[in-house]
Amino acid sequence: VWKPLQPCTVTCGVGQILQKRLCDNPAPKHGGKNCLGEDVRSQPCTVKVPCPVNGHWDEWAPWKPCSRHEIGFEIECQEIPASQMRNRKCIGRRNNGKPCEG
């Protein structure tokens, strides 16, 4: 007898729904043969929740002179004579994906 369908194997995107059965009605004993056929079957499932997309770093902006105390996305530029700064943006993050690191 097939067991009830299990939930989709993913929480977003495309996965599988599995259904299992046991060879226990009756179970083979004393050298008896196992049941014929598969004990697991599956079918595709689609969860209509967008999958997270992690952010990634864009290219660095060109260096520019510091004229005042500025904080970029990665580098803090302080009022030091002849110092420069540049920054880069974390782009592409969607659906609670991870922010950029490093």
Domain limits, the chain: 2-47, 56-91
76 vs 55 pLDDT, higher one: 55
In CATH, what number does 2-47 get? 2.20.100
- ∠ CA 82-90-60, nearest 5°, is 35
pLDDT at position 4 over 70: yes
89 vs 33 pLDDT, higher one: 89
Tokens, residue 44: 């595709």
Asked whether the whole model's pTM tops 0.75, one would answer no
- ∠ CA 48-40-14, nearest 5°, is 15
**What is the pLDDT averaged over residues 7-26?**
93
pLDDT at position 74 over 50: no
